[in-house]
Structure 1
Amino acid sequence: MPKVKLSAGELELVTDASFILTKNNIIQKVYALLGELSEYYVQEIKQYPIEMPVLAPSPKIARGENYEGLPWLMLDFPRIFSARDVFAIRTFFWWGNFFSITLQLAGSYHDQYLPRIKKLYEADEDSDWFLGCSDNAWEHHFLPGNYQPLREFSMQEIEGLPFIKLARKIPLLQWDDAALSLKNSYVEILSILGD
């Protein structure tokens, strides 16, 4: 039977409980941040008289340990997911990578809000928004095959998308400003949908 050996770095980590305790503390802080954001999102959405499923289920925070091998947490609000129709604003934390906020639309919501996404495209020359370009609506990374800057699309490409994923990424090194950036991005999404 082969021996399972640890590298020197692995041995150092496995004997250091503080690493896992620190990780757990950080995850709790992210969970608390998402909880604060959910309260803000609920209040903010009431300020926008737009055609949106405001009576959607309450905010939901989910977490896991293995998105591309790393821990993650996400907040969905509003959140309507059916076999055909999707309307969600998702705030995502991915360990070692970023925070992001994504407007996700499919089915009837795609058709309803596509003109507003096109209007954003026409009006926003210096956009830091990204648009999903993958066939998989459930990928969250920002590698080129999944997202591209909004400005790199043509209008015809936008019109041909089977679903819309409009996203903004906030680096983890901007931790102290992340909550404000996510709040501002949420309000910006609501204003895009309400134009």
Structure 2
Amino acid sequence: MSLNLSENEIKCLKEVEFWRLSKEVNKKLEVFLYDIQHEYEAILNDSSNQNIQFLSSSHRKVSKGNNYKGLPYLVLDYPAIFDRKNIFTIRTMIWWGKFISLHLILKGKPLNDLKSAIKSKKSFLSDKNFYFCIDKTPWNHDFSPDKHIQYEVLTDEIFDKQSENFIKTGKYCDVIGFEDWQDFCTTNFKNLIYTLK
């Protein structure tokens, strides 16, 4: 059996420097997420939001992998509650070649407790250019039109139907805007915390 490689595939096989460099970039991205978590923690601690006083700030893990829809990624879930029935997280995700995003994901008791607060902030979320997930699962994080719609076109009927199982709302900033990532993260973390009041 012969191995057939195109010219571009041979170049890829010979590539060494990119993989060395990508490890360094990944280390820097991981440090960035841990640093931003400290900023989130300060925002959460300063919040007077009674609706989220149940949240623990003990979760401190950056997850990473090499194959989210074919590309590497890093994920920070903070704050985070995950059990068999309940989910509350604000997920910060860096998706190589695509963007950094923040998503609020709720399911179970947090969903039931906070649904009306989020629904009441529809105008606020529209003004801040957030998206609402209309997918069947909360674990698709791209912003394609078949998975997310902008709040300005979100109807009460769509919200009510979708929020029977989970709510996911989010926003993203392209990779080319990486200089703005810190401000993007802290500003939109504050916006999401405000949404829960």
TM-score bracket, shorter-length normalisation: over 0.9
Alignment of 1:100-115 (within 5 A): 100-115=101-116
- Asked if 1:28 is matched to 2:27, the reply is yes
Kindly provide the amino acid, as one letter, of the partner of residue 147 in structure 1: H
Name the CA distance, whole Å, in 2 between partners of 1:38 and 1:99: 14
Give the direction of change, closer, same or farther, for the CA distance of 1:79–1:124 in structure 2 (3 Å limit): closer
Name the CA distance, whole Å, in 1 between partners of 2:71 and 2:141: 12
- Per-residue deviation at 1:180? 1.1
Cα contact 2:126–2:150 (8 A) shared by 1: no
- Asked if 1:136 is matched to 2:137, the reply is yes
Kindly provide the amino acid, as one letter, of the partner of residue 35 in structure 1: Y
Deviation by residue 1:1-54 (Cα, 9 ceiling, x = unmatched): 2x1222111211221211111211111111111011111111210011222132
TM normalised by structure 1 equals: 0.93
Name the CA distance, whole Å, in 2 between partners of 1:110 and 1:9: 48
- Asked if 1:11 is matched to 2:14, the reply is no
- Per-residue deviation at 1:95? 0.7
Cα contact 2:41–2:57 (8 A) shared by 1: no
> Which one is further off, 63-72 or 117-126?
117-126
Q: Which residue of 1 aligns with 2:183?
A: 180
> Which one is further off, 107-116 or 86-95?
107-116
Q: Which runs of 5+ in 1 are unaligned?
A: none
- Per-residue deviation at 1:103? 0.5
- Secondary structure of the equivalent of 2:173? strand
Q: Which residue of 1 aligns with 2:195?
A: 192
Alignment of 1:1-195 (within 5 A): 1=1, 3-50=2-49, 51-52=51-52, 53-161=54-162, 162-194=165-197
Name the CA distance, whole Å, in 1 between partners of 2:126 and 2:86: 30
> Which one is further off, 118-127 or 83-92?
118-127
Let me know the Cα RMSD of the aligned residues: 1.4
TM normalised by structure 2 equals: 0.92
Kindly provide the amino acid, as one letter, of the partner of residue 80 in structure 2: R
Cα contact 1:87–1:105 (8 A) shared by 2: yes
Percent of matched pairs sharing the same residue? 23
Deviation beyond 3 Å, 4+ runs, structure 1: 122-127
Give the direction of change, closer, same or farther, for the CA distance of 1:120–1:28 in structure 2 (3 Å limit): same
Cα contact 2:79–2:90 (8 A) shared by 1: yes
- Secondary structure of the equivalent of 1:62? strand
